[in-house]
Amino acid sequence: MKNYKTQMEAAKKGIITPEMLIVAKKEFMEPEKLRGLIACGQVAIPANINHTSLSPEGIGTGLSTKINVNLGVSGDCKNYDIELEKVKLALKFGAEAIMDLSNYGKTNTFRNQLIKISPAMIGTVPMYDAIGYLEKDLLEITPQDFMKVVRSHAEEGVDFMTIHAGINKRAIEAFKRTGRKMNIVSRGGSLLFAWMEMTGNENPFYEYYDEFLEILREFDVTISLGDALRPGCIDDSSDASQLSELIELGQLTKRAWEKDVQVMVEGPGHMAMNEIAANMTIQKRLCHGAPFYVLGPLVTDIAPGYDHITSAIGGAIAAASGADFLCYVTPAEHLRLPDINDVKEGIIASKIAAHAADIAKGVPHAREIDNNMAEARHKLDWDAMFELAIDSEKARAYYESASPAEKHTCTMCGKMCAVKTTNMILEGKTVEFYSEN
């Protein structure tokens, strides 16, 4: 029988768990080095003891950048079959995490099915589920009710939960003084703000933080400290509201580690490119090196319909500057619940950002697949190129949609293909464009 409750407790005791061995192999890292990073909180392995289908992943210092895919139903879009298709797509393209953000009705049937079939980490935001799960209006919900929802998610097998514990009364005072353009854009954060203002009480996730940590510790659920006051437009980024909450999150990080609960800290949001690197440094400093999980950041506010691109730009910069985990953004962001095509576009954009950052960070073997692609292009081996592409099907479909007259080239350059011309010259052959056949 194992003598530890959580991955962090095991790491502190010098124990290398089966999950650590799997992650170490995936990351080309010595298990003992990984154990040390988990012990000090710089790496988390979200792995609920009840998620038996999980293929463990590590998030944090020295590891490859992971991506998360959000899905789930809303009051206006309630088709769980469509959400399951999104799950399959996320798994097909190698997303390491899936968050069920359903906020309508009894969501546990879908979530139980998701946890049963998914090798990817599963995350939730219990605050979203509270109203539907409890069938109470916001004002009627008690701190004990919130605990009931958190325990339910933990028992089901959720690997990490976003809990907005940092938006306490001190942070709200800073928010009110700041005077933002977009105020609060976090759904969970806005609900907690409303609950606090209507009841006059402290944030229950902050006031009863230790009790919530005990639940998370029991099932080895990683706490993802939500950024309720994240900037919702670039004009609000790096303001007193955001940073005052981040200071609170740093203290909450240490308190969780004291109870052997693994931690991730969530970040912006909308942010101009020139602020991103500094924000990553500040987060790592204030939150003691805990893994950083960012939504975007979106680097401009004027691209609805293309926010997977604005997010990929910001995400690549953030991850190259120290962020560890990227939450995907789809073209439907700010507009509607994403459909299956939106989800695919968001996943691909996020995977590109994560991989580009891993190359910049020097993650072991990150360049290998790029070098293999270069070799395939050098040889004009189209099948190998399609196999190596992030989206093999799209690459092949593009190529086959317009057949070139010149064998082994594409319709961009045709007989003037630079690769073919150079290969021929280096092989001692003559290049002729107008020779008779």
- Whether 285 and 328 map to the same domain: the answer is yes
Let me know if residue 143 belongs to a domain.
yes
- Whether 351 and 375 map to the same domain: the answer is no
- Whether 338 and 391 map to the same domain: the answer is no
285 is in an annotated binding site: no
For the record, the structure tokens of 165 come out as 């514990």
70 is in an annotated binding site: yes
- State residue 79's pLDDT score: 82
pLDDT tens for the chain, 437 residues long, are 789 999 999 999 999 999 999 999 999 999 999 999 999 999 999 999 999 999 999 999 999 999 999 998 776 767 888 999 999 999 999 999 999 988 776 688 889 999 999 999 999 999 988 877 788 899 999 999 999 999 999 999 999 999 999 999 999 999 999 999 999 999 999 999 999 999 999 999 999 999 999 999 999 999 999 999 999 999 999 999 999 999 999 999 999 999 999 999 999 999 999 999 999 999 999 999 999 999 999 999 999 999 999 999 999 999 999 999 999 999 999 999 999 999 999 999 999 999 999 999 999 999 999 999 999 999 999 999 999 999 999 999 999 999 888 878 898 999 899 999 999 999 999 998 886 54
228 is in an annotated binding site: yes
164 is in an annotated binding site: yes
306 is in an annotated binding site: no
**Distances from the Cα of 393 to the Cαs of 20, 326, 396, 398, in angstroms?**
34, 24, 5, 9
What residues make up the domain containing 373?
367-401
- Whether 313 and 414 map to the same domain: the answer is no
Let me know if residue 66 belongs to a domain.
yes
- Whether 391 and 275 map to the same domain: the answer is no
Closest CA to 102 of 111, 93, 91: 111
357 is in an annotated binding site: no
99 is in an annotated binding site: yes
The H-assigned helical ranges of 100-186 are 108-117, 126-134, 143-156, 169-178
- Whether 263 and 335 map to the same domain: the answer is yes
Let me know if residue 298 belongs to a domain.
yes
186 is in an annotated binding site: yes
Let me know if residue 1 belongs to a domain.
no
- Whether 72 and 15 map to the same domain: the answer is yes
Q: How far apart are CA 266 and CA 251, in angstroms?
A: 14
233 is in an annotated binding site: no
DSSP classification of residue 33: H
- State residue 435's pLDDT score: 65
DSSP classification of residue 415: G
Residue where a domain terminates, one of 299, 333, 361? 361
**Distances from the Cα of 54 to the Cαs of 9, 22, 48, 57, 112, in angstroms?**
20, 11, 9, 9, 13
- Whether 375 and 343 map to the same domain: the answer is no
Residue type, 374: A
pTM as predicted: 0.95
Let me know if residue 232 belongs to a domain.
yes
Let me know if residue 336 belongs to a domain.
yes
- Whether 287 and 428 map to the same domain: the answer is no
- Whether 317 and 371 map to the same domain: the answer is no
- State residue 436's pLDDT score: 52
- 315 neighbors 353 (Cβ within 8 angstroms): yes
372 is in an annotated binding site: no
**Number of domains making up the chain:** 3
Closest CA to 225 of 284, 164, 170: 164
Let me know if residue 2 belongs to a domain.
no
- Whether 384 and 318 map to the same domain: the answer is no
- State residue 105's pLDDT score: 65
- Whether 143 and 29 map to the same domain: the answer is yes
Residue 313: CATH number of its domain = 3.20.20.540
DSSP-assigned letters across all residues of 186-213 = -HHHHHHHHHHHHH-PPPHHHHTHHHHH
Let me know if residue 410 belongs to a domain.
yes
Q: How far apart are CA 90 and CA 96, in angstroms?
A: 8
288 is in an annotated binding site: no
410 is in an annotated binding site: yes
404 Cβ contact partners less than 8 Å away, ≥ 6 residues apart: 410, 411, 414
